[in-house]
Amino acid sequence: MNDIQVAEILAQYGLATTKSLGQNFLKDSAVLQGIADAAEGDCILEIGAGIGSLTALLCQKAKKAVTIEIDRSLEPLLIEQVPFENHRFLWQDILKCDLQKIAKEEFGGRCTVVGNLPYYITTEILLLLLKNIDCWDEAILMVQQEVAERLFAQKGKEYRAASVWVQGLCDGAILFEVPPHCFHPAPRVRSAVVRLTPQKEHPAPKEFIAFAQAAFAARRKMFASSAAVQGLLHTDKAGLCALLDAANLPQTARAESFSPQDFIRLFQLAQNLGDKI
Ligand code: SAM
């Protein structure tokens, strides 16, 4: 498979990439095909069009595809590069989108999300997707490799609030790694494509995310002493010690020592004990 001539295509339209929008466009055809092949489902919502190389592949396999793109200067190029009747562009900032509304109006409720993400807002996009987890069945996302590793970390230095949100709410895996030379321009970091699938039974996403964020605000302190968690649960240290007892976890434990499953147990117990989250 030949590489996509990204620089030449942009030049034909008098365009160049914009670094501040995270515009590292994929040029490696095998990687583009690998992402398209990984995406299941008839209804696809793409985040970020670039020059439409992935968009075109997605249109060929889906019944309907919609792409959200912020950079309207790409419009003349994209209209010609993506001439598919089953597709439309929404010229919007993904972070200002009402995903529930888009999923309902465009797809009747749910879709598969696909995106070679703009890395400067990876966390914000992940939060948006997780908070609206009932809108999608699967997400195939290109992220920085170190972010991918954090999302699936179980313990240790890489373990973050994001590891807990993602593993608490989704099943998932790193599908394949993508080196810098597969993009134009080449980013400084390595990348990886991940798959996320919402768990059938998962905790209430917004509340669970807030709980994990509060706990990780002082990840090295004793969980029971965390002012953020005490504030969120409207309780005090004794209340959090009782919660830890109920979860069979030591009263002296730190947030970073809890597995995602421990977090789910603590969260559910907090709800069952009648605390407000
Ligand atoms: N899908 C293309 C590809 O694989 O070559 C482009 C990927 S590029 C890494 C990220 C794309 O997201 C760019 O087209 C960029 O303009 C777009 N983008 C950046 N910020 C955005 C935002 N807030 N909302 C929607 N799209 C955004």
Mean pLDDT across 38-51:
97
Residue with tokens 């995106």: 115
Ligand 1 centre from 32 Cα, in Å? 14
- Furthest-apart CA atoms within the chain: distance in Å: 67
Task: Report the distance separating Cα 33 and Cα 39, nearest Å.
Answer: 10
CB 166 within 8 A of CB 262: no
Which pLDDT value is given to residue 148? 98
Among protein residues, the one with the nearest Cα to ligand 1's atom 11 is: 48
Ligand 1 centre from 50 Cα, in Å? 6
End-to-end CA, the chain: 52
Q: 79 Cβ partners below 8 Å, 6+ apart?
A: none
**173 φ, ψ to 5°?**
-165, 155
- Pick from 3, 29, 47, 147 the residue to mutate for probing ligand 1's pocket: most ligand atoms within 8 Å of its CB: 47
Q: How confident is the model at residue 160 (pLDDT cuts 50, 70, 90)?
A: very high
Of the two residues 268 and 274, the one the predictor is more confident about is 268
CB 48 within 8 A of CB 69: yes
pLDDT in tens, 224-239: 999 999 999 999 999 9
Q: DSSP for 184-232?
A: ESPPSS-EEEEEEEE-SS---HHHHHHHHHHHHTTTTSBGGG-HHHHHH
Of the two residues 61 and 276, the one the predictor is more confident about is 61
Q: How confident is the model at residue 156 (pLDDT cuts 50, 70, 90)?
A: confident
Among protein residues, the one with the nearest Cα to ligand 1's atom 12 is: 48
Which one-letter amino acid corresponds to residue 105?
E
Q: Choose among 109, 130, 99: nearest CA to 41.
A: 109
Mean pLDDT across 156-178:
96
Q: What is the mean pLDDT of the chain?
A: 96
Mean pLDDT across 170-192:
98
Q: Which residues line ligand 1 (CB under 6 A)?
A: 21-26, 48-50, 53-54, 68-71, 93-95, 116, 118, 121
Q: How confident is the model at residue 253 (pLDDT cuts 50, 70, 90)?
A: very high
Given the CA of residue 55, which atom of ligand 1 is nearest to it? 1
Task: Report the distance separating Cα 168 and Cα 202, nearest Å.
Answer: 7
Kindly report the number of other CB atoms within 10 A of residue 12's CB atom: 11
- What structural domains and CATH numbers belong to the chain? 6-198 (3.40.50.150), 205-272 (1.10.8.100)
Mean pLDDT across 167-174:
97
Among protein residues, the one with the nearest Cα to ligand 1's atom 10 is: 118
Of the two residues 27 and 271, the one the predictor is more confident about is 27
Which has the minimum average pLDDT: 85-94, 150-159, 178-187?
Answer: 150-159
Which pLDDT value is given to residue 274? 62
Mean pLDDT across 50-73:
98
CB 151 within 8 A of CB 164: no
Task: Report the distance separating Cα 217 and Cα 198, nearest Å.
Answer: 25
Whether the predicted pLDDT of 276 surpasses 60: no
Among protein residues, the one with the nearest Cα to ligand 1's atom 14 is: 50
CB 223 within 8 A of CB 258: yes
Of the two residues 1 and 157, the one the predictor is more confident about is 157
CB 74 within 8 A of CB 15: yes
Q: How confident is the model at residue 19 (pLDDT cuts 50, 70, 90)?
A: very high
Whether the predicted pLDDT of 275 surpasses 90: no
Which pLDDT value is given to residue 277? 47
Residue with tokens 């290109």: 142
Q: How confident is the model at residue 273 (pLDDT cuts 50, 70, 90)?
A: confident
Work out whether strand 136-144 and strand 87-90 pair parallel, antiparallel, or are unpaired: unpaired
Whether the predicted pLDDT of 259 surpasses 60: yes
Q: Choose among 260, 226, 256: nearest CA to 241.
A: 226
Q: How confident is the model at residue 155 (pLDDT cuts 50, 70, 90)?
A: confident
Whether the predicted pLDDT of 250 surpasses 80: yes
Mean pLDDT across 79-98:
97
Q: Which two tokens stand for residue 15?
A: 């365009």
- Pick from 6, 25, 72, 114 the residue to mutate for probing ligand 1's pocket: most ligand atoms within 8 Å of its CB: 25
Rounded to 5°, angle at Cα 199 from 196 and 202:
125
Kindly report the number of other CB atoms within 10 A of residue 88's CB atom: 12
